[in-house]
Structure 1
Amino acid sequence: MPVSDQDRSRDFYVNVLGFDLVRDAQMQPDLRWVQVAPPGGQTSLTLVTWFESMPAGSLRGLVLETDDLDGDLAEFTARGAEAPGGVQEQPWGRYFTLTDPDGNGLVVQETRARRPG
Protein backbone atom coordinates (compact mmCIF):
# COMPACT_ATOMS: atom_id res chain seq x y z
CA MET A 1 0.00 0.00 0.00
CA PRO A 2 1.79 3.17 -1.12
CA VAL A 3 1.74 5.82 1.61
CA SER A 4 3.55 9.08 2.36
CA ASP A 5 3.74 8.77 6.16
CA GLN A 6 4.05 5.29 7.65
CA ASP A 7 3.17 6.40 11.19
CA ARG A 8 -0.02 8.18 10.10
CA SER A 9 -1.04 5.25 7.88
CA ARG A 10 -0.26 2.66 10.56
CA ASP A 11 -2.43 4.61 13.01
CA PHE A 12 -5.29 4.77 10.48
CA TYR A 13 -5.25 1.05 9.67
CA VAL A 14 -4.79 -0.02 13.30
CA ASN A 15 -6.84 2.57 15.20
CA VAL A 16 -9.57 3.43 12.68
CA LEU A 17 -10.02 0.20 10.70
CA GLY A 18 -9.07 -2.10 13.59
CA PHE A 19 -6.30 -3.96 11.75
CA ASP A 20 -3.64 -5.83 13.71
CA LEU A 21 -0.08 -4.52 13.62
CA VAL A 22 1.90 -7.51 12.35
CA ARG A 23 5.33 -5.89 12.18
CA ASP A 24 6.93 -2.47 12.50
CA ALA A 25 10.68 -2.77 12.09
CA GLN A 26 13.57 -0.73 10.73
CA MET A 27 15.24 -2.84 8.05
CA GLN A 28 17.86 -0.35 6.83
CA PRO A 29 18.52 3.30 7.70
CA ASP A 30 15.95 4.53 5.15
CA LEU A 31 13.75 1.44 4.92
CA ARG A 32 11.04 0.58 7.44
CA TRP A 33 8.70 -2.42 7.22
CA VAL A 34 5.19 -1.68 8.52
CA GLN A 35 2.78 -4.57 8.03
CA VAL A 36 -0.89 -4.63 9.08
CA ALA A 37 -3.65 -7.21 8.68
CA PRO A 38 -7.40 -7.34 9.17
CA PRO A 39 -8.22 -9.38 12.28
CA GLY A 40 -8.76 -12.99 11.28
CA GLY A 41 -7.79 -12.16 7.69
CA GLN A 42 -5.74 -14.39 5.44
CA THR A 43 -3.63 -11.60 4.00
CA SER A 44 -1.79 -8.47 5.09
CA LEU A 45 -0.74 -5.09 3.75
CA THR A 46 2.69 -3.54 3.88
CA LEU A 47 2.62 0.25 4.12
CA VAL A 48 5.47 1.35 1.84
CA THR A 49 7.13 4.66 0.98
CA TRP A 50 10.00 3.47 -1.18
CA PHE A 51 8.53 2.57 -4.59
CA GLU A 52 8.81 5.43 -7.09
CA SER A 53 6.42 3.62 -9.44
CA MET A 54 3.76 3.56 -6.69
CA PRO A 55 3.16 7.11 -5.46
CA ALA A 56 1.27 7.53 -2.20
CA GLY A 57 -2.48 7.38 -2.78
CA SER A 58 -2.25 5.62 -6.17
CA LEU A 59 -3.90 2.33 -5.16
CA ARG A 60 -7.60 2.01 -5.98
CA GLY A 61 -10.13 -0.76 -5.55
CA LEU A 62 -8.57 -2.90 -2.83
CA VAL A 63 -11.48 -5.09 -1.70
CA LEU A 64 -11.99 -6.17 1.90
CA GLU A 65 -14.70 -8.81 2.33
CA THR A 66 -16.84 -8.74 5.47
CA ASP A 67 -19.75 -10.63 7.02
CA ASP A 68 -21.00 -7.51 8.83
CA LEU A 69 -21.05 -4.55 6.47
CA ASP A 70 -23.33 -2.39 8.60
CA GLY A 71 -21.34 -3.09 11.75
CA ASP A 72 -18.04 -2.31 10.03
CA LEU A 73 -19.41 0.92 8.59
CA ALA A 74 -20.63 2.03 12.02
CA GLU A 75 -17.33 1.07 13.67
CA PHE A 76 -15.10 2.72 11.06
CA THR A 77 -17.06 5.97 10.93
CA ALA A 78 -17.22 6.16 14.74
CA ARG A 79 -13.41 6.04 14.69
CA GLY A 80 -13.12 8.81 12.09
CA ALA A 81 -13.26 7.14 8.67
CA GLU A 82 -15.49 8.66 6.03
CA ALA A 83 -17.66 6.63 3.65
CA PRO A 84 -19.20 9.46 1.62
CA GLY A 85 -21.44 7.29 -0.58
CA GLY A 86 -22.76 5.15 2.27
CA VAL A 87 -23.83 1.59 1.60
CA GLN A 88 -24.45 0.76 -2.06
CA GLU A 89 -26.69 -2.14 -3.13
CA GLN A 90 -25.80 -4.38 -6.08
CA PRO A 91 -27.25 -7.67 -7.36
CA TRP A 92 -24.16 -9.50 -6.03
CA GLY A 93 -24.16 -7.85 -2.59
CA ARG A 94 -23.51 -4.56 -0.80
CA TYR A 95 -20.48 -2.34 -0.32
CA PHE A 96 -19.14 1.02 0.77
CA THR A 97 -15.96 2.81 -0.17
CA LEU A 98 -13.50 4.81 1.86
CA THR A 99 -10.02 6.22 1.48
CA ASP A 100 -6.99 6.13 3.71
CA PRO A 101 -5.15 9.35 4.69
CA ASP A 102 -3.22 9.34 1.38
CA GLY A 103 -6.28 8.73 -0.80
CA ASN A 104 -5.78 5.01 -1.47
CA GLY A 105 -9.24 3.62 -2.26
CA LEU A 106 -10.74 0.73 -0.30
CA VAL A 107 -13.95 -1.16 -0.99
CA VAL A 108 -15.56 -2.97 1.95
CA GLN A 109 -18.05 -5.49 0.62
CA GLU A 110 -20.48 -8.11 1.82
CA THR A 111 -21.15 -10.63 -0.95
CA ARG A 112 -24.46 -12.43 -1.05
CA ALA A 113 -24.29 -16.21 -1.00
CA ARG A 114 -24.23 -17.65 -4.47
CA ARG A 115 -27.05 -19.92 -5.50
CA PRO A 116 -26.04 -23.45 -6.43
CA GLY A 117 -25.65 -23.73 -10.17
Structure 2
Amino acid sequence: MALTNLNLVSVPVSDQDRAKHFYAEVLGFTVLMDNPMGENMRWVMLQPPGASTKITLVTWFPTMPAGSLKGSVLSCDDLESTLRELAHRGVTFHEQEIRQAPWGRWKSFDDPDGNGWIVQQDAAF
Protein backbone atom coordinates (compact mmCIF):
# COMPACT_ATOMS: atom_id res chain seq x y z
CA MET A 1 0.00 0.00 0.00
CA ALA A 2 1.28 3.48 -0.84
CA LEU A 3 -0.43 5.74 1.71
CA THR A 4 2.23 8.17 2.87
CA ASN A 5 0.70 11.20 4.55
CA LEU A 6 -2.40 12.71 6.10
CA ASN A 7 -2.73 15.61 3.69
CA LEU A 8 -5.90 17.49 4.63
CA VAL A 9 -8.38 17.61 7.51
CA SER A 10 -11.82 19.17 7.00
CA VAL A 11 -12.79 21.36 9.95
CA PRO A 12 -16.56 22.03 10.06
CA VAL A 13 -17.31 25.68 10.86
CA SER A 14 -20.34 27.97 10.75
CA ASP A 15 -18.51 31.15 9.65
CA GLN A 16 -15.41 30.80 7.48
CA ASP A 17 -14.24 34.38 8.09
CA ARG A 18 -14.40 34.02 11.88
CA ALA A 19 -12.71 30.61 11.72
CA LYS A 20 -10.03 31.86 9.31
CA HIS A 21 -9.23 34.70 11.72
CA PHE A 22 -8.96 32.27 14.65
CA TYR A 23 -6.73 29.76 12.88
CA ALA A 24 -4.51 32.39 11.22
CA GLU A 25 -4.32 35.16 13.82
CA VAL A 26 -4.74 33.24 17.08
CA LEU A 27 -3.16 29.86 16.29
CA GLY A 28 -0.64 31.21 13.76
CA PHE A 29 -1.57 28.96 10.81
CA THR A 30 -0.58 30.15 7.32
CA VAL A 31 -3.44 30.89 4.92
CA LEU A 32 -2.66 28.95 1.74
CA MET A 33 -5.89 29.58 -0.20
CA ASP A 34 -9.14 31.48 0.08
CA ASN A 35 -10.89 30.99 -3.24
CA PRO A 36 -14.47 30.77 -4.51
CA MET A 37 -15.65 27.19 -4.95
CA GLY A 38 -19.05 26.90 -6.57
CA GLU A 39 -22.02 29.06 -5.75
CA ASN A 40 -21.87 30.70 -2.30
CA MET A 41 -18.92 28.55 -1.19
CA ARG A 42 -15.20 29.13 -0.58
CA TRP A 43 -12.18 26.89 -0.31
CA VAL A 44 -10.28 28.18 2.73
CA MET A 45 -7.13 26.18 3.38
CA LEU A 46 -4.54 26.78 6.11
CA GLN A 47 -1.44 25.02 7.41
CA PRO A 48 0.18 24.93 10.84
CA PRO A 49 3.75 26.29 10.82
CA GLY A 50 6.24 23.58 9.85
CA ALA A 51 3.54 20.98 9.15
CA SER A 52 2.78 19.11 5.94
CA THR A 53 -0.86 18.49 6.90
CA LYS A 54 -3.34 21.22 6.01
CA ILE A 55 -6.88 22.06 7.13
CA THR A 56 -9.81 23.36 5.16
CA LEU A 57 -12.67 25.24 6.79
CA VAL A 58 -15.85 23.61 5.51
CA THR A 59 -19.50 24.64 5.71
CA TRP A 60 -21.06 22.32 3.16
CA PHE A 61 -21.18 18.82 4.67
CA PRO A 62 -24.61 18.16 6.23
CA THR A 63 -23.18 15.22 8.19
CA MET A 64 -20.42 17.44 9.65
CA PRO A 65 -22.10 20.20 11.63
CA ALA A 66 -19.95 23.05 12.85
CA GLY A 67 -18.10 22.04 16.00
CA SER A 68 -18.28 18.28 15.42
CA LEU A 69 -14.53 17.69 15.00
CA LYS A 70 -13.00 16.47 18.26
CA GLY A 71 -9.60 15.23 19.42
CA SER A 72 -7.28 16.56 16.70
CA VAL A 73 -3.75 16.99 18.04
CA LEU A 74 -1.39 19.89 17.35
CA SER A 75 2.16 18.96 18.37
CA CYS A 76 4.75 21.34 19.76
CA ASP A 77 8.33 21.11 21.04
CA ASP A 78 7.89 23.26 24.18
CA LEU A 79 4.45 22.84 25.72
CA GLU A 80 4.73 25.47 28.46
CA SER A 81 5.93 28.17 26.06
CA THR A 82 3.29 27.29 23.48
CA LEU A 83 0.50 27.31 26.07
CA ARG A 84 1.63 30.72 27.37
CA GLU A 85 1.70 32.18 23.86
CA LEU A 86 -1.71 30.76 22.92
CA ALA A 87 -3.25 31.97 26.20
CA HIS A 88 -1.77 35.42 25.50
CA ARG A 89 -3.51 35.30 22.10
CA GLY A 90 -6.85 34.50 23.74
CA VAL A 91 -7.08 30.70 23.74
CA THR A 92 -8.93 29.32 26.76
CA PHE A 93 -7.92 25.82 27.80
CA HIS A 94 -10.27 23.27 29.36
CA GLU A 95 -7.77 22.05 31.95
CA GLN A 96 -6.18 24.10 34.71
CA GLU A 97 -3.15 21.82 34.86
CA ILE A 98 -1.17 20.11 32.11
CA ARG A 99 -2.34 16.53 31.61
CA GLN A 100 0.12 13.67 31.17
CA ALA A 101 -0.07 10.21 29.59
CA PRO A 102 2.45 7.72 28.16
CA TRP A 103 2.20 9.40 24.71
CA GLY A 104 2.77 12.99 25.89
CA ARG A 105 1.70 16.05 27.88
CA TRP A 106 -1.20 18.25 26.79
CA LYS A 107 -4.03 20.69 27.29
CA SER A 108 -7.16 21.01 25.16
CA PHE A 109 -9.26 23.89 23.81
CA ASP A 110 -12.13 24.58 21.42
CA ASP A 111 -12.19 26.81 18.37
CA PRO A 112 -15.04 29.39 18.12
CA ASP A 113 -17.42 26.70 16.77
CA GLY A 114 -16.60 24.10 19.41
CA ASN A 115 -14.22 21.92 17.41
CA GLY A 116 -11.98 20.29 20.01
CA TRP A 117 -8.20 20.51 19.69
CA ILE A 118 -5.30 19.26 21.79
CA VAL A 119 -1.91 20.98 22.10
CA GLN A 120 0.60 18.26 22.91
CA GLN A 121 4.28 17.79 23.48
CA ASP A 122 4.94 14.21 22.45
CA ALA A 123 6.75 11.84 24.79
CA ALA A 124 10.13 10.58 23.66
CA PHE A 125 9.75 7.05 22.29
Pairs within 5 Å for 1:1-117: 1-86=11-96, 87-114=98-125
**Partner SS for 2:108:** strand
- Give 4+ residue runs of structure 1 displaced > 4 Å after superposition: none
Count of aligned residue pairs for this structure pair: 114
Q: What's the offset of the Cα at 1:93? A: 1.8
* Residue equivalent to 2:7: none
Query: Is there any run of 5+ residues in structure 2 with no aligned partner, and where?
Result: 1-10
Structure 2 Cα separation of the partners of residues 13 and 24 of structure 1: 13
TM-score (norm 1): 0.93
Tell me which amino acid in the other structure corresponds to 1:101: P
Percent of residue pairs bearing the same amino acid type: 50
Tell me the TM-score normalised to structure 2 length.
0.87
Equivalent position amino acid for 2:67 in 1:
G
Q: Which runs of 5+ in 1 are unaligned?
A: none
Residue identity opposite 2:23 in structure 1: Y
Mapped partners of 2:94, 2:58: distance in 1: 26
